[in-house]
Structure 1
Amino acid sequence: MPDSAADAKPSSAETTSLPLAGLRVLDLTLARAGPTCVRHLADWGADIIRVEPPRSTDGLGGPRDGFDSVNLHRNKRSIALDLKHPDGHAAFLKLAATADVLVENMRVQVKHRLKIAYEDLKDLNPRLVYASISGFGQTGPYAKRGGVDQIAQGMGGLMSITGEPGRGPMRVGIPIDDLTAGNLLALGVMMKLYDRERTGRGGYVHTSLLESQVFMLDFQASRYLMDGEVAGQAGNDHPVNIPMGVFPTADKPINIAASSPKLWEAFCRAAGREDWMRVPEWQTAAGRSKDRARVNAAISEVTRTKPSEWWIATLEEAGIPCGPVNDIAEVFADPQVRHLEMAMPIRHRRRGDTRVVASPLNVEGLETGVYRDVPDLGEHGEEILAEAGLSAAEIEGLKAKGALGGE
């Protein structure tokens, strides 16, 4: 694993070898869902032009040098344009005319009011892939509502199945709807870009926090749709597979997954409790599920007699999936996480040597990295407009009118 930012790859000169090199993306995203989508494109070589309001102080969602911004908004350039100003809007259209992708997660009515919706741009640039994330969908009774992650977690059913039984609804500890919507939109963008190779035309790709959350219900959703079962909270236990959950040891809890017939027998032997295989109620998965409380109590009584490392070694040797319950510091100290280089070293212009979360995607023969810091507000505005064909005089005119800002 690289030990310092000096070892980070690739440099800005090396991004031409990345698979998305040459792709120009206009980034009008806020908060987390949209930026999550753009981060995938940025990490793999796309030229990201972040379009921000000219008087924004923390338009990236938090301090520009804060841990969240540095991790989420790397590998971008910034232009500060007033899209409400006629000249600022006209300059934006110049950028949109030659862009490959535009990503936004504004409220539905806002982009229409600013005249930067797909309908406003599709004839200007028929090859443009226009990508949107909303709270609840681009149409329908909730389309104009603002949506945030926790609201979608609640409306999409996730909070009703998270947490311990009887304790009331519980949010997941990460913004899972924001992240899922961003990840799915990045997939949608790449699908549409591939389709553009065939048709020569771009198009509109969109998802929402609510759609993404319902999709992520996965088997809990099909369990209801096909069998009519409304899942409830199961705490740290798997909803249907027993035993699969968190169990105490002499020092710290561990996860154990031994629900199949083969794994259950292997677990009983590894735990020194072959007598469990002869308990009539526990001889089938359905029986163990029905008697969940007694099964878990019996296992806990045994597992708490030895430390976690002993159990993990013993169960791994028996072929039983298991693992520690780590805090965040322990995650990044884990030898496998270190081997996977998930803490990526970078050199930030003001923070100095630090680390961010690496891309989880592995492409043979290619290596991504951080080749641009989070940009200062409007840092690249003049060069971006010059690339779009504006003269120095036109650029100065935009600045004089307040349509172009920057630090």
Structure 2
Amino acid sequence: MFELLKGVTVLDLSTVVFGPFASQMLADFGADVIKVESPDGDIFRAAAPARSRGMGAGYLNLNRNKRSISLDLKTEAGRATLDRMIADADVFLHNMRPAAIARLDLGHERLATLNPRLVYCAAVGFGSDGPYADDPAYDDVIQSMTGFASMSIDPTAEPRLIPTVLTDKIAGLYAVAGILGALMSRERTGQGLAVEAAMFESLASFMLAEHLSGYVFEPPIGTLRYDRVVSPHRKPYPTADGHIAALPYSTKHWEKFLRLIGRDDLANADWVRDASRRSERIGELYAVLGQATPERTTAEWLTEFKRLDIPCGPVNRLEDLIDDPHLRAVGFFQSTAHPTEGAVTTVRQPLRFAGAATRADRAAPRLGIDGRAVLHEYGMDDAAIDALVASGAMILPAETPGTDDQSE
């Protein structure tokens, strides 16, 4: 991990992917992220596959560099303990619905009285001032509501979800940007801010960045589509032995490619050389590309396209990424020895900072494993901590229902 955010404490009450994806980035940047979990733990701990209960693969890959404390916030003692932590925290992150936050009395207005410098981030499904504010939100729902599921070059095709948890990760990036912006503002003003990162609005913004298209103008002068990316001819192209991704984009790219395949007539055409006119007929050029690629093998095309500096790449499967020579060369995959799970592989933080101080990564924690150490830092002695445990307000690993002794 880096030390860019060294000294920043984040209380992370989020679960599954959205919030943990965001808080892991903050942890990778060096923040002390304390994962505050219920006695049952983050539900994503249960996602298969796993070697042991509560330590699923997805959880392990989204929660490195964090510490875990398990508090029952339905108890007065649990909430009082969290309040004690909030008073000294820099960031409070949650992904609970408004009704749940209200029941726990963890809204921004009250927490700001405990700590005026607190950056409060609500990672929610829908913006709080809209009619959907209290609705539950998951990736499948938001992909469908924002048009992702219905986007197809075939208007008769059935709606289909993109096979990745797209919404959570995109909204998580927005949450990180919001938190970092609020921390910068606090440096100038001394006051914390409330940040709201909503899944629906985040993915709608992401989707419409290019697809707002003709509706940018009032009245609209076109459709809600960016023509280049909805062309039925835009796709991985068949080769003599497989497929290839290729994207001639600039005028030079198209001229080089068209001359390569003996289509000087198109290479010399005025409409091809004019970027605006070419964009109106881009589907015709994609069709020409698709007709030409079956004449050579994938390797032959990769060689030719790279020689001409035309963007291209193989059509990989997920399995191909594991042995991809570039990802291996840049150290993208991290193999570590987890204290309880044995050898594990995770993907590193993709950002790099030249000259930034670093320290060793911390393995994703067992449920509640850091509870005693964390509360010691907040001035609580063993007797007070033991009293919390005895009351049921705090869970330590050996006392976690349904799990083995997971202490280190």
Secondary structure of the 1:258 match is coil
* Equivalent position of 2:365 in the other structure: 375
> For the residues of structure 1 that align with 2:340 and 2:190, how far apart are their CA atoms?
43
**1:103 aligns to 2:88 (yes or no):** no
> For the residues of structure 2 that align with 1:270 and 1:143, how far apart are their CA atoms?
55
The structural deviation recorded for 1:312 is 1.1
C-alpha distance 350-387 of structure 1, shift in aligned 2 (>3 A): closer
State the one-letter code of the partner of 1:230: T
The structural deviation recorded for 1:146 is 0.8
The structural deviation recorded for 1:89 is 0.8
* Equivalent position of 2:16 in the other structure: 31
* Equivalent position of 1:219 in the other structure: 210
Task: Choose 382-391 or 201-210, whichever is displaced more.
Answer: 382-391
Task: Choose 166-175 or 129-138, whichever is displaced more.
Answer: 166-175
**1:88 aligns to 2:81 (yes or no):** no
The structural deviation recorded for 1:161 is 2.2
Secondary structure of the 1:160 match is coil
Please list the CA deviations of residues 194-230 of structure 1 after superposition, one character each: whole Å capped at 9, or x if unmatched. Answer: 1111111111111101111111020112442324533
* Equivalent position of 2:229 in the other structure: 238
**1:41 aligns to 2:26 (yes or no):** yes
1:60-209 alignment, distance < 5 Å: 60=45, 62=47, 64-162=54-152, 164-209=154-199
> For the residues of structure 2 that align with 1:200 and 1:283, how far apart are their CA atoms?
55
The structural deviation recorded for 1:371 is 2.4
Secondary structure of the 2:229 match is coil
Q: Is the 8 A contact 2:248 2:310 kept in 1?
A: yes
* Equivalent position of 1:6 in the other structure: none
2:262 to 272, 293, 313: 272
> For the residues of structure 2 that align with 1:202 and 1:166, how far apart are their CA atoms?
50
Question: TM (normalized to structure 1)?
Answer: 0.87
Task: Choose 274-283 or 302-311, whichever is displaced more.
Answer: 274-283
Q: Is the 8 A contact 1:214 1:221 kept in 2?
A: no
C-alpha distance 238-368 of structure 1, shift in aligned 2 (>3 A): farther
Q: Is the 8 A contact 1:243 1:257 kept in 2?
A: no
Q: Is the 8 A contact 1:270 1:318 kept in 2?
A: no
Q: Is the 8 A contact 2:336 2:343 kept in 1?
A: yes
Residue identity (%): 34
Please list the CA deviations of residues 356-381 of structure 1 after superposition, one character each: whole Å capped at 9, or x if unmatched. Answer: 11111110123657622221111111
C-alpha distance 45-259 of structure 1, shift in aligned 2 (>3 A): closer
* Equivalent position of 1:263 in the other structure: 253
Q: Is the 8 A contact 1:27 1:48 kept in 2?
A: yes
The structural deviation recorded for 1:170 is 2.4
Task: Choose 37-46 or 365-374, whichever is displaced more.
Answer: 365-374
State the one-letter code of the partner of 2:230: P
In angstroms, what is the RMSD of aligned CA positions? Answer: 2.6
Q: Is the 8 A contact 2:234 2:286 kept in 1?
A: no
Secondary structure of the 1:71 match is helix
The structural deviation recorded for 1:165 is 4.2
C-alpha distance 119-59 of structure 1, shift in aligned 2 (>3 A): farther
The structural deviation recorded for 1:406 is 2.1
> For the residues of structure 1 that align with 2:186 and 2:276, how far apart are their CA atoms?
50
State the one-letter code of the partner of 1:261: T
Q: Is the 8 A contact 1:261 1:284 kept in 2?
A: yes
Question: TM (normalized to structure 2)?
Answer: 0.87
> For the residues of structure 2 that align with 1:105 and 1:33, how far apart are their CA atoms?
8
Aligned residue pairs: how many?
389
Secondary structure of the 1:106 match is coil
* Equivalent position of 1:53 in the other structure: 38
